[in-house]
Structure 1
């Protein structure tokens, strides 16, 4: 578990393959004001992770930001039945085997209201992701909205990242980008996010962004933010 912001945010990476290609996966842990923990994008649960989490606090909320980050929810549900499980838009229909306590949207639940910003990245007819920002650590917390696989040395990963435009710089992978046909709604989401107080970015796949995050984020979405003038 890597401490990103002292006593506030940690993250942990695990090996993971998409379509047989290693891309890794990252979980983020946020300590809320009541000293309980919010788990964002849970990875495969191990005894080691459970021990480390027990040292940080009590797991109170488990958040799935989009339709892709649900693979390990069953084991978390069994281990942390007392936690509140939040589903990304549409996930309740995809994972009918699980009982979610609430669905995520653009308004923060009471458990972290006034502590974290959140909104839905709209504009896609296939998938919507819930994006978070922690003002304490000035961190934007994403799932698949951005990826940056420049730290990989695997030939297949490098090829996949180049094809999807997220090897040389952080970007929304092309397979996601093509689904965002409603540029007006996407711009509205991006403009809201850019009002938030963040300078660092954590996301599920690839290198983290420790500084200059707001500029990097706006540059990654020039294709959408500039659409009104094209």
Structure 2
């Protein structure tokens, strides 16, 4: 008999209506939500940062439920909505309709994927004026078909990634567990093997990782996987040790 705790629909509803977790007082929050793609139940994580003008920076928006709208309205107005890479776009239409005054930034390649949406700008190496001097960002290079933007909030000492690293130790479903073990991102944070193999220009990837290692962070939030709360820079360096041994 399937109990309520193991019912995917119940899990989805519970996470959809959950309260955001505050990582740093009045500065940074995240919320995790169950999503089903290609028959596999995964968790996707949205990060919210309150900028110096009290407006919100939304990273990797999840499904926009009414409870989530209420929570966000209590934190402030939304200034910017960004996606880490071209794969994270499934709920953008809802946000685009709900927040017409927000600035929408496309990850590299996303404009071609979502030609139905109008973006205000494309994220690249430079930092837009909206969060200049507040957040750090860089383009993780080395794969012409898949480029990701990494962010860092120095105030909360948090590195925010999309799929560059994953830590899927909390996965219990056999299919998800097998995926995590095969890709080497179950026991510790790692770049999934299939993604790692797609980075053919290792020189450019090394440059990107070296830049990130100059940033001030202790916490790492991934779009998928368990949050690293402490000793993030050492864990990040260990995850890319293979890259510097070649």
Please give the range of the TM-score, normalised by the shorter of the 2 chains.
over 0.9
**Farther-moved stretch of structure 1 (145-154 vs 180-189):** 145-154
Alignment correspondent of 1:12: 31
- State the distance in 2 between where 1:73 and 1:116 align: 22
> Could you give the per-residue CA deviations for residues 116-140 of structure 1, whole angstroms, max 9, x where no partner exists?
0000000012200000000001000
Structure 2's unaligned 5+ residue stretches are 1-19
Q: Which has the higher contact order (CA 8 A, sep 6+)?
A: 1
Alignment correspondent of 1:217: 236
- State the distance in 1 between where 2:131 and 2:175 align: 39
Q: Is the 8 A contact 1:150 1:206 kept in 2?
A: yes
> Could you give the per-residue CA deviations for residues 98-149 of structure 1, whole angstroms, max 9, x where no partner exists?
0000010111100000000000000012200000000001000001111111
Instruction: Normalising by structure 1, report the TM-score.
Output: 0.97
Structure 1 residue corresponding to 2:222, chosen from 203, 210, 215: 203
Q: Is the 8 A contact 1:23 1:206 kept in 2?
A: no
* Structure 1 vs Structure 2 CA RMSD: 0.8
- State the distance in 1 between where 2:41 and 2:207 align: 33
SS of the residue 1:120 aligns to:
strand
Alignment correspondent of 2:184: 165
Runs of 4+ in 1 over 2 A off after TM superposition: none
Q: Is the 8 A contact 1:26 1:204 kept in 2?
A: yes
Alignment correspondent of 1:50: 69
- State the distance in 1 between where 2:75 and 2:122 align: 26
Alignment correspondent of 1:64: 83
> Could you give the per-residue CA deviations for residues 29-76 of structure 1, whole angstroms, max 9, x where no partner exists?
000000000000000111111000000000110001101110100000
Q: Is the 8 A contact 1:9 1:28 kept in 2?
A: yes
Alignment correspondent of 1:188: 207
Count of residue correspondences: 227
- State the distance in 1 between where 2:208 and 2:21 align: 30
What is the CA distance between 1:18 and its match in structure 2?
Answer: 3.7
1:1-230 aligned at under 5 Å gives the runs 1-227=20-246
Q: Is the 8 A contact 1:125 1:179 kept in 2?
A: no
Instruction: Normalising by structure 2, report the TM-score.
Output: 0.91
What is the CA distance between 1:215 and its match in structure 2?
Answer: 0.6
What is the CA distance between 1:4 and its match in structure 2?
Answer: 0.8
Structure 1's unaligned 5+ residue stretches are none
Alignment correspondent of 2:16: none
- State the distance in 1 between where 2:36 and 2:240 align: 26
